[in-house]
Amino acid sequence: MGFELKGKVVFLATGNIHKFNEARAVLAEQGLTAAMLRMKGVEIQSENLAEIAGTSALATFKECHLPIIVEDAGLFVYALKGFPGPYTAYVYNTIGNAGLLKQMENLLNRQATFRSAVAYCDNLSGAVTCFEGEAAGELTHIQRRGGRATFGFDPIFKPDCTDKTFAEMTLEEKNKFSHRAKAIRKFAEWYKST
Amino acid sequence: MGFELKGKVVFLATGNIHKFNEARAVLAEQGLTAAMLRMKGVEIQSENLAEIAGTSALATFKECHLPIIVEDAGLFVYALKGFPGPYTAYVYNTIGNAGLLKQMENLLNRQATFRSAVAYCDNLSGAVTCFEGEAAGELTHIQRRGGRATFGFDPIFKPDCTDKTFAEMTLEEKNKFSHRAKAIRKFAEWYKST
C-alpha cells in the first residue's frame, strides 16, 4: 500500500491548470517534480494570504498525507485600499477585468501589487512553512492579451520595468516577473536543501 | 465554576454592535435574551452564507461552550453576477458605497438581494442548525442616509415595497423588512420551541 516518491516531488493542490503550469515550470528549473492534486482544501477568509494558504495546506495534508503546497495569490490595488486582495479569484469571477477597469475610471494612481504566498505542509503537527513573492506594477487602461491562454487579471496588470502585461508574455517571461514564480522559487530553493 | 443561564439566552458572536443591536431587538420581541460575544471565529471562503456561518458557529462553540449564533450576510447584485455576495464586508471596507455605485454606472438592472444566514450551535457533534432570510430590492443611484448610525451598504439599498433605504429607516422599520431580522426571527421561533 502507499507508493514510493522517487526523487524530490511535491504536490500542488489546486484546480487551476494555469497556476499549476506556471508553478511546474519554476519547479522544473530547480530540478523538482510537481504533481497536480485536484483537491480543494477549505479556504478561510483572511486578509493574509499566507494564513489562507497555510490553513488550506494543513487541511489538505490531513486528507492525503502527501507533501503539499498550496499557493494563494491576490492583486492589491493601492487606490482601492487593497481591493480585491485576498478575494481576487471571486472578484475576477464576478465583475472581472472589465469591472475592475470600471472601478479604476478617473483614478490617477493605478499602482497595484500582485502578491503570492506558497505554504508547504508535510506533517500533522500544524507546522506549515510559507514563502512569499510579489510583483509591483500598474493597471493598464484596457485589456491587453497575447496569444497565450491566461487567467485572472493578467490582461490588465503590467509589472514595472516591462512594457507587457502578464497576458502578453510567454509563460517563461511571466515567470521572470511574477509574484507566483518568485514565491515558488523561494520554496524550491528551501525544499531542495531539506 | 461556570455560570447558570437564566431563561432562554443566546450568545451572538460578532464584533459588530449594529448587527448585535438589530438581532437583539428581534430576539427581545420573541422574549429571548441576547448577549454579545466579541469573539471572531474563523470565517471560511465560500459562496454559501450558511456554510460560512455554520463553520464559524461550531468553531466558536468549541472555544466557549455556550449556545452560539453567528450571522453572516451578503448583498447579491444581479447585474454583477452576485458580487459582492459573501465578501460584502470586505468590499464595503475597501471600495465602499461609492465604489459599488461606480460599478453600477450605466447598468440598467439595479436589482439586488440582501441575504442572511443564522447558524446555531450548542454541541460538539458538529450539528449546526441554520435559518435564512432575504430582502429583495434595488440599489439607489446615490447614498441616502437617515439620522441613525448604520453600517455597510444600507445607504444604497432600498427594499421592494418601500421608498426608504435601510439607512433611512429606524431600527424597528428596518427589522420589518431586513434579511437579518427575518433569519433571526425564524431562529427565535425555533429556539423558543426547543
Residue spans of the domains in chain B: they are 9-193
Span A52-59, average pLDDT: 91
| Ranges A81-95, A152-166, B49-63, B157-171: which has the least confidence | B49-63
The model's pLDDT over A93-112, given as tens digits with 9 standing for 90+, comes to 999 999 999 999 999 999 99
Cα of A101 to nearest chain B Cα, Å: 10
CB-CB neighbors (< 8 A) of B81 in chain A: 93-95
Catalytically active residues of B, by annotation: 72
Contact B38, B15 (CB under 8 A): yes
Q: Residues of chain B with pLDDT > 70: what percent?
A: 95
Contact A75, A82 (CB under 8 A): no
The model's pLDDT over B68-125, given as tens digits with 9 standing for 90+, comes to 999 999 999 999 999 999 999 999 999 999 999 999 999 999 999 999 999 999 988 8
Span B125-132, average pLDDT: 90
Q: What is the CA radius of gyration of chain A?
A: 17
Q: Residues of chain B with pLDDT > 90: what percent?
A: 72
- Catalytic site residue from A72, A122, A154, A163: A72
pLDDT greater than 60 at residue A76: yes
Identify the bridge partners of residue B111 per DSSP, sorted by sequence position.
Answer: B138
- Which of the residues A42, A45, A52 would you substitute to probe the B interface, choosing the one with the greatest number of B C-beta atoms within 10 Å? A45
Distance CA(A7)–CA(A33), nearest Å, equals 8
Chain B residue nearest residue A83, CA to CA: B94
Read off the C-alpha cell for A74: 491576490
Burial readout A12-36 (b: 16 or more C-beta within 10 A, e: otherwise): bbbebeebbebbbbbbeeeebebeb
Tell me if B52 and A45 make a contact (CB, 8 A cut-off). Answer: yes
Tell me whether strands B43-45 and A129-139 are parallel, antiparallel or unpaired.
unpaired
pLDDT interval class at A7 (50, 70, 90): low
Span A53-58, average pLDDT: 92
Distance CA(B26)–CA(B34), nearest Å, equals 10
Contact B67, B122 (CB under 8 A): yes
Say what the pTM is: 0.81
Tell me if A80 and B94 make a contact (CB, 8 A cut-off). Answer: yes
pLDDT interval class at B38 (50, 70, 90): confident
Pick A9-193's CATH classification: 3.40.50.620, 3.40.50.300, 3.40.1280.10, 3.90.950.10. 3.90.950.10
CB-CB neighbors (< 8 A) of A90 in chain B: 45, 47, 83, 85-87
ipTM of the complex: 0.71
- Which of the residues A47, A52, A78, A94 would you substitute to probe the B interface, choosing the one with the greatest number of B C-beta atoms within 10 Å? A94
User: In angstroms, what CA-CA distances link B134 with A115, A183, B21, B107?
Assistant: 36, 42, 18, 23
Q: Look at residue A4 in the predicted model and tell me its pLDDT.
A: 47
CB-CB neighbors (< 8 A) of A80 in chain B: 94-95, 99
Q: Look at residue B147 in the predicted model and tell me its pLDDT.
A: 80
